[in-house]
Structure 1
Amino acid sequence: MAEDRRAPLRYVVIVAALALASSVWFVLWATVGAGPVWIAYLTMPLGGTVAAVALYGLWRVVRPDPVARRFWRGLFVGTLFMTAGYLLMAVNAVRYSVGDDTPDMPLTSAACVALGFGLTMWAVARVPVGATGPGERRRMNLDRVIAFLGCSTLLWHFGLAPMLTAADPWSPQTLVLIGLAFLMSVGGMTKVSYLGDGPVDRTALRLVATMGLTAAGVAVLATTYGDAGGPPSQAIVLPLAPLLLVVAVRVQWKATLGRGRVSRRSSPLLPYLAVAAVDLPLLALAVGEMRWTDRVVLAAAVLVSVLVVVRQFLAFRDNARLLRNIRAQEERLQHEASHDGLTGLANRAMFRGRLQAALGGGESATVLLVDLDDFKTVNDSLGHDVGDQLLVAVADLLREQAGAGLPVRIGGDEFAVLLLGGTTVGETVAQRILDALSEPIGAHRLMVQASIGIATAEPGASVDTVLREADVAMYAAKERGKAACVRYLPGMAEPVLANMRLGGELRRAIEENELEVVYQPIMNLDSGKLVGVEALVRWNHPERGLIMPGAFVPVAERTGLIIELGRFVLRETCRQTAAWTAEFGRDAPEKAAVNVSARQLHDPDFAAEVLAVVGETGLSTGRLVLELTESAVLRGSQVSQSLHELHRAGVRLALDDFGTGESSLSLLRAFPAAIVKLDKSFVDGLEIDDAGLEARDARQAVARAVIQLAGALRLDAVAEGIENEAQAEQLRALGYTQGQGYHLARPMSAGDLTALLARQRRALAAG
């Protein structure tokens, strides 16, 4: 490998020594007449031979890359032909030179050299420049044509034209060779100006192209000294060509082995330098007589000027297109920055900006904050794609109903409408939105409800203030049962904020074990024996004291804490029931019921989590009862799948508040229920009371229908809310055997229930 690295330098040294020796010989020959003139013709074939050897070695190094292999192979073959041509020329000079005069180049020699030049030009032309697109290729080709004409005009005027118009005409073969050399030089230089990083080194290609400029030196010597210019051309000028070639080999060799420079793109000044090159012959024409060769210069100058104008037009067109693209991109970015990507509505930033501008400009503004009720259940049961489609449908609805207002998507399932002007228009638009939402919307024809908070701000008010007031009003609308609109009024914030603070405290309560599970016994109405329990939760607040579920469960529903709360109650109930079973055996509660919310049911992992808790606590699945409301059950395929999975595992399912919904009877056909619980509203007034005989008969009819239906379907029936003995008697008469209520037993702590079970066992043992 070290030998491979030194090889290119050896070739450079040899050729440089030949060129130096040839120059020294010429000086001696011109001054003291050292040796015959044909010695001048020996350097080119010798230098060409060394260059061919160097090219062959480089070709073997770059052979793995097809582009580099093709280029350097073409140069190797071209060098062989040129070397052969100059060798024939040297032989001819040795044979026929007389004194200081040498014969003209033989036709065979000229043909070999011309073929070598042609192959070299073809190799240079085939090197790819790597233009990235049609527009860049057109511009590059136009620039190359301009540069080619400009440089060619310069070489024509000062090189070829004097030879063509010389008093003593030059041989055709000499003119052809010099012309080819000019073409190779100009074409290569314009080519390399657009060559980027690639397998052929840019500097090496520039050196190859520069070889053609030796023809310019030959032409200048020939037109200046005539035949006397032959020896210095052969001894001094032409030997520079193989020297440039071996230097190019060394540069490529180093680049291939990883030690070369990184190529850089050229400057776009090339066409303008070409214009300057054309100006030099024009200046020369201004002080001399015009010949036909000068008209060629003028024509080339005009053509170059026209092409430069065309290039400027193309550049102007490209710049205009670029500016249009930049402007369109800026508009798109500005739209994306101020609009929601999903719905296309204005976003929070644009909303705040418009509201700030209105309030700061002396206008009053009304804000409608629209929050979709239970939107999470849509995502959980039908998937996020359906949820996104529903949000788009809601956005379209807001556009239709907002009138002159600005509909906005704040984020998630929260929207807003900005209305400028009076305060009465807010309720009108809000009601239009609620009315439109009373019908199914979207491609899936879904029913969705919304809670709307309305707040109006006078000129100069704070943006944050009006948004906070609209938020408070929206929460007040949710507390009123959802699907409602509420206008903010002074003093409204305090209870709502207290409720919101309660949500934050509830999270802390779950983490710090401030919650307690209590158990309401389910009794056998005939024997009075405890047969089951329903788990209820209480909050022992360190400052507010005991908080009942009605105060914090709705907060848990809104904040999503209901999932953690339900998980806590489930785990604690299973643990405690397993402990009672271990302690009391057959006298332990036969079933322990836990209430489950709709949000828990929509968790895809709900069934697996329940079964995992049962397994961890050691409780039999047959002792666990999950109580569900009718509204929670009717929530889609995900819920149904989870419930059937739990039913197959042995967990019993109870339909709570039975008889209050429209679909209770049809539910029993599709829902794997084991227990129905008669709602308290049908137990109240079963005895003769102030409700009157007609109301009592209606309640008894419902209670009788439920127990008969349960018997027909082989379901257990439990009556809720028994408040006195008269109600218990009526229920026994109707056929109920199980019930719960304050008359039978109030909810009690685990310790109190343990004591109750102990008393019950002693009583049974004594009986």
Structure 2
Amino acid sequence: MTRPVRHVALTGVFVLLSTLWYVLWTVTGFGPLSVGYLFMPLATGVAVFAVRALRRETTDPVGRRFWRALEAGCVLVTAGFAILAVAAVVSTPELPDMPPAGAAFAGAGLLASIWAVARVPLGVHHRRERVRQWLDRTIAFLGCVTVLWHFGVLPLVTADEQWTPASLSILILAFAFAAGAITKVSYIAGGPVDRIAVRTVAATGLAVGGVALLDGKFGYAGILPGQTLCMPLIPLLVTSGVYLQRRATGRPPRGRGNVWLPYLAVLAVDLPLADVLLSPPVRDGVPEGRLVVGSAAAVTALVLARQFLANRDNVRLLREREASEARLQYEATHDALTGLGNRVLFKQRLDQVLTGDGATVLLVDLDDFNTVNDSLGHDVGDELLIAFAGTLRAAAGEDGEPARLAGDEFAVLITTPGQDRAVVERIMTAIGAPISAHRLLVHASAGIASAPAGTPASHLLRDADAAMFTAKQRGKANWVRYAPGMEKPAQAHAQLGGDLRRALDAGEFALVYQPIVHLATGRVVGVEALVRWFHPDRGMVSPADFIPAAERTGLIVPLGRWVLRETCRQAAAWIAEFGPGVLEKAAPNVSVRQLHDPDFVADVRAALADSGLPARRLVLELTESAVLRGHQVLRVLHELHDMGVRLALDDFGTGESSLSLLRAFPAAVVKLDKSFVDHIELDEPGSAAANARQAVARAVVQLADALGLDTVAEGIENQEQADRLLKLGYTVGQGYHLGRPVSAAELTARLAAEQRSVPAAA
């Protein structure tokens, strides 16, 4: 049995023995009366040890302060009732009055207990809540005091047998403690002192009140039952509070504040008021009704004030609720970034319009918006969206209601008939100038669709989306009006994205390898890995169709991871089969989405480790647009370079910043774009185009030599082009003349044939 349970059990035994002794004495009259005074000091002594043990174990300062004050109160009460017990033994067989010394100790104990309960924090910090709580507590206190005064203290004051000042002071203090404690503990919200434990301790005031009521009712005959039946309950309640506090340690607060207590106080004050109305106005020279009526009036006034505050709070809460509902409604129907209506609001308005005369919808999508996010950052992208929303709102004017549907996709509900063309032209004109604080020049594609009344909103949006998709397919920065059948390519494009996920899981992708050839000897020195999709129903799907879909859906990341690992595995297999001199480079293409993948560097490292391919033999081919994507991409590229992986700048010469890139980009290989190889073999005197092609090709190889970079000429389609490039300084090239993309098995056969030709040539 734990220590708190033992303390409760022991005080319970004293309560039981005291009750049994009183019953026995009442029936038989056996034994001295002083025995009835011994149970109280013995039981409170046990309570002292219980509180002391809990106080020593409590670590919270507030809790330790409460139990320390309660311990002091128990010690003083024990001393006071021990003095009373001694007086009872001395004065046997008479019942003694409380000695002044005992009254002083007991009174000090009650004051210490009152102090302990009064200092327990209520957990209320808001000023409005504190005012309301003080009103509630005052109402409850007056109600309790009025009842206790009328039915407890007043009978003692007007009793025929006069009480000693000491005894009367103790009883009045006990009544005050009962009223104050009940009022205080009813509002404790929780904390280091358990609410239920404090209520149990505060109930000791009711036990003392019971003594006073017995004494007031029965006079001298009520003293002994008060001492034996009521007083021993005090230490039992204290030890029970200690037990409840120990059990509640570490648990969330239990119960809730008694908001109904002021209303009970109003009912309680009516009891003495009714008694006054039914009794004589003066009893033994004491005007009973004045205090009771005054208390009732005060309680009524406080209740009115409390109700006024409650009504004001209710009005405020109702106003706040209405504002909150309006705010939530606005947030549910508007885009948080741009302030435009969102998809929900746009569809609601569209449904309303379609019930009348029909509707026209304009869908607008920013072209290449991801490029802004990737190169300049998402903050700049958000600023661009905000600026574009303002431009859209201004261009639509009174003829349309703009909304942001998702990402960089916007919509305008045309509200003025016949103004759809004017609205879209105003929008296209407005974005022809740089917008946002960064003065960005953006382009947008738009689709227009109209529908008669009764058309489902989803069908109209589908048609507008199909028109917008067609505008993008026609070169972007364009707008198209919907025509029947226009949705089929868009649906096929959407279905293609869904098929990609299934194709990845089903293993429908394969790699082909285009040889990279030494121009002087015709030997294969490397391969470019190209992915192909062999669809079970559609046959081979062109990369021009599925690569954009993979980019758009994000599936390019897992697809690119598979291409990387398969390229490394196959290149390592060729080296193992034909020797270390067979391939200098294995080159898969890398998309910008892969470079933004946080796991890309780890994927490359894992692919090399799993395959055993030396890092210097892996060449990652990147386009200029992929490299121009900000500091994060450059950091990734430098990490790859530090690993020993070589980087190739594909389609070199076609961009505006190709030359400046070579200073920041850790390139190892430069690939001359096919546009500079086409017709380079032709000698056309006076032809500016031919001279420009040769000049660019010569400048690229000279620049690469100066920087220590390798060069590869792309798109070689005949031997004359190969000879001209060799004369210009190129040693390595690729193209259909040198070798078409073939399967791994076909390239293996070519490598084997080259291996066999080496001894023959020797």
* The two structures share one fold, judged by TM-score above 0.5: yes
Instruction: Name the counterpart of 1:20.
Output: 23
* Distance (Å, rounded) in 1 between the aligned partners of 2:166 and 2:587: 111
The correspondence for 1:600, drawn from 590, 594, 597, is 594
Deviates more, 1:662-671 or 1:147-156: 147-156
The correspondence for 1:306, drawn from 294, 301, 304, is 301
Aligned ranges 1:262-301 → 2 under 5 Å: 264-265=255-256, 267-286=258-277, 288-289=280-281, 292-301=287-296
Instruction: State the AA in 2 paired with 1:502.
Output: L
Q: Answer yes or no: is 1:55 the counterpart of 2:47.
A: yes
* Mapped contact 1:358–1:365 kept (Cα < 8 A): no
The correspondence for 2:680, drawn from 679, 682, 686, is 686
CA drift of 1:206 comes to: 1.6
Q: Which has the larger radius of gyration?
A: 1
How many percent identity over aligned positions? 48
Instruction: Name the counterpart of 2:237.
Output: 248
Q: Answer yes or no: is 1:214 the counterpart of 2:206.
A: no
* Distance (Å, rounded) in 2 between the aligned partners of 1:598 and 1:644: 15
Deviates more, 1:508-517 or 1:470-479: 508-517
Instruction: Name the counterpart of 1:676.
Output: 670
- The DSSP-based 3-state class of the residue aligned with 1:150 is helix
Instruction: State the AA in 1 paired with 2:17.
Output: I
Q: Answer yes or no: is 1:120 the counterpart of 2:110.
A: yes
The correspondence for 2:489, drawn from 489, 492, 495, is 495
Q: Answer yes or no: is 1:150 the counterpart of 2:140.
A: no
- The DSSP-based 3-state class of the residue aligned with 2:648 is strand
Q: Answer yes or no: is 1:428 the counterpart of 2:420.
A: no
* Mapped contact 2:177–2:205 kept (Cα < 8 A): no
* Mapped contact 2:519–2:733 kept (Cα < 8 A): yes
Instruction: State the AA in 1 paired with 2:222.
Output: S
> 1:395-422 CA deviation, whole Å, 9 max, x = no partner?
5555555545444443445444444343
Instruction: Name the counterpart of 1:630.
Output: 624
> 1:295-340 CA deviation, whole Å, 9 max, x = no partner?
3333223222212222222332333344344444434443443344
* Mapped contact 1:678–1:706 kept (Cα < 8 A): yes
> 1:233-264 CA deviation, whole Å, 9 max, x = no partner?
3344454442433543564465467599x975
CA drift of 1:11 comes to: 0.9
* Distance (Å, rounded) in 2 between the aligned partners of 1:246 and 1:586: 94
* Distance (Å, rounded) in 2 between the aligned partners of 1:395 and 1:245: 74
- The DSSP-based 3-state class of the residue aligned with 1:723 is coil
CA drift of 1:572 comes to: 3.9
Instruction: State the AA in 2 paired with 1:709.
Output: L
Instruction: Name the counterpart of 1:318.
Output: 313
The Cα RMSD (Å) is: 4.2
CA drift of 1:383 comes to: 6.1
> 1:669-690 CA deviation, whole Å, 9 max, x = no partner?
3333343333332333335599
> 1:507-557 CA deviation, whole Å, 9 max, x = no partner?
444444444433444444444444444333444444434444334333333
Instruction: Name the counterpart of 1:46.
Output: 38
* Distance (Å, rounded) in 2 between the aligned partners of 1:171 and 1:571: 101
Aligned ranges 1:549-628 → 2 under 5 Å: 549-585=543-579, 588-628=582-622
> 1:401-460 CA deviation, whole Å, 9 max, x = no partner?
554544444344544444434364366347626843863636x77666554443333322
* Distance (Å, rounded) in 1 between the aligned partners of 2:389 and 2:523: 58
Instruction: State the AA in 1 paired with 2:349.
Output: R
Aligned ranges 1:643-662 → 2 under 5 Å: 643-662=637-656
Q: Answer yes or no: is 1:355 the counterpart of 2:354.
A: no
* Mapped contact 1:158–1:220 kept (Cα < 8 A): no
CA drift of 1:23 comes to: 4.0
* Distance (Å, rounded) in 2 between the aligned partners of 1:684 and 1:664: 20
* Distance (Å, rounded) in 2 between the aligned partners of 1:86 and 1:582: 105
* Distance (Å, rounded) in 1 between the aligned partners of 2:23 and 2:619: 107
Q: Answer yes or no: is 1:9 the counterpart of 2:12.
A: yes
* Distance (Å, rounded) in 2 between the aligned partners of 1:532 and 1:265: 78
Between the two proteins, the alignment pairs up a number of residues equal to 736
* Distance (Å, rounded) in 1 between the aligned partners of 2:655 and 2:597: 24
Give the TM-score, by structure 2 length.
Answer: 0.82
> 1:623-681 CA deviation, whole Å, 9 max, x = no partner?
44333322222222233233334444444433332322222222233333343333332
* Distance (Å, rounded) in 2 between the aligned partners of 1:484 and 1:530: 45
> 1:545-578 CA deviation, whole Å, 9 max, x = no partner?
4444334333333333333444444444444444
* Mapped contact 2:361–2:411 kept (Cα < 8 A): no
Q: Answer yes or no: is 1:720 the counterpart of 2:714.
A: yes
CA drift of 1:15 comes to: 1.9
Runs of 4+, deviation exceeding 6 Å:
165-171, 444-447, 689-692
* Distance (Å, rounded) in 2 between the aligned partners of 1:82 and 1:484: 99
Instruction: State the AA in 1 paired with 2:76.
Output: V
- The DSSP-based 3-state class of the residue aligned with 2:667 is coil
Change (3 A) 1:86 1:363: farther
Change (3 A) 1:551 1:93: closer
* Distance (Å, rounded) in 2 between the aligned partners of 1:13 and 1:432: 92
> 1:25-66 CA deviation, whole Å, 9 max, x = no partner?
7xx7xxxxx99xxx76x4664344344444344445544353
* Distance (Å, rounded) in 2 between the aligned partners of 1:247 and 1:158: 25
Change (3 A) 1:258 1:381: same
The correspondence for 1:109, drawn from 76, 82, 99, is 99
The correspondence for 1:202, drawn from 199, 202, 218, is 199
> 1:475-510 CA deviation, whole Å, 9 max, x = no partner?
333333444444332211112222333333344444
Instruction: State the AA in 2 paired with 1:75.
Output: C
> 1:97-137 CA deviation, whole Å, 9 max, x = no partner?
8xxxx99x6xx824642652353144135215552315554
Instruction: Name the counterpart of 2:61.
Output: none
* Mapped contact 1:43–1:235 kept (Cα < 8 A): no
Change (3 A) 1:24 1:745: closer
- The DSSP-based 3-state class of the residue aligned with 2:511 is strand
Deviates more, 1:285-294 or 1:654-663: 285-294
* Distance (Å, rounded) in 2 between the aligned partners of 1:713 and 1:606: 28
Instruction: Name the counterpart of 2:333.
Output: 338
Instruction: State the AA in 1 paired with 2:473.
Output: E
Change (3 A) 1:154 1:513: closer
Change (3 A) 1:120 1:621: closer
Instruction: Name the counterpart of 1:224.
Output: none
Instruction: State the AA in 2 paired with 1:248.
Output: L
Instruction: State the AA in 2 paired with 1:144.
Output: R
Instruction: Name the counterpart of 2:79.
Output: 80
* Mapped contact 1:373–1:451 kept (Cα < 8 A): no
CA drift of 1:85 comes to: 4.8
> 1:171-221 CA deviation, whole Å, 9 max, x = no partner?
655654554454344334444544674474524532443312422333344
* Mapped contact 2:471–2:480 kept (Cα < 8 A): yes
Q: Answer yes or no: is 1:187 the counterpart of 2:186.
A: no
The correspondence for 2:451, drawn from 442, 449, 457, is 457
Change (3 A) 1:481 1:461: same
